[in-house]
Amino acid sequence: ELLLAVLNDLDLSSVEVSIYGAGSTDYVQSLKKSCYNKNISIIDGFVCDSKLPDLYANHHLVVLPYSITSVLNSGSVINAFSYQRAVISSKIGTLSDISNIPQKYFDYEYENQEEHFLKLYKLIDSIIKTYSGRYNDLLLFGKNANEYIKKENSLSIVSLKLEKLLSNLDIKFWDH
């Protein structure tokens, strides 16, 4: 609802937006009725893993306007990065963990619902204005995030971090 409200207020003449998700028939119908921008498509239904490659291939940017009071981390962020897609999200733990490399994602912080709307609105509006006509440039963010995730979450690095954590507990599971 928040995302749809933000998008309805923006000039989307240079973009096409798809909102995916499963919901009750009544809820989806109410969303479709409240959607008055012809460049927004609401697609009802669960998106299974086999559909993700095509879905990501047809979109430059993934918007995840999480509530910071209920979402600490998100597999959807990592999933978008694995398909080299740029992400807009509220500042959740997943993004904080990779904040030291520029040009990976777009994030924002807020303290209440009104501020959430305004910050998300300003960020999406700024991205549309900045990247209008060159949306493929957004793919650099996804590529950078993907490279960072692959490097920092490689088996060798994760093993070393886990070993260090476990050594602090004085537990030894394996030898090098």
Q: Using pLDDT thresholds of 50, 70 and 90, give the confidence band for residue 105.
A: confident
pLDDT per residue over 64-102, tens digit each? 888 888 877 778 888 888 899 989 998 887 777 776 666
Q: Where are the alpha helices (DSSP H) in the chain?
A: 2-9, 25-34, 52-57, 75-82, 93-96, 113-131, 139-152, 155-168
Q: Beta strand pairing status for 17-21 and 40-44?
A: parallel
**pLDDT one-digit tens code per residue, 27-71:** 999 999 999 999 999 999 998 889 999 999 999 999 988 888 887
- 47/24 Cα distance (integer angstroms): 15
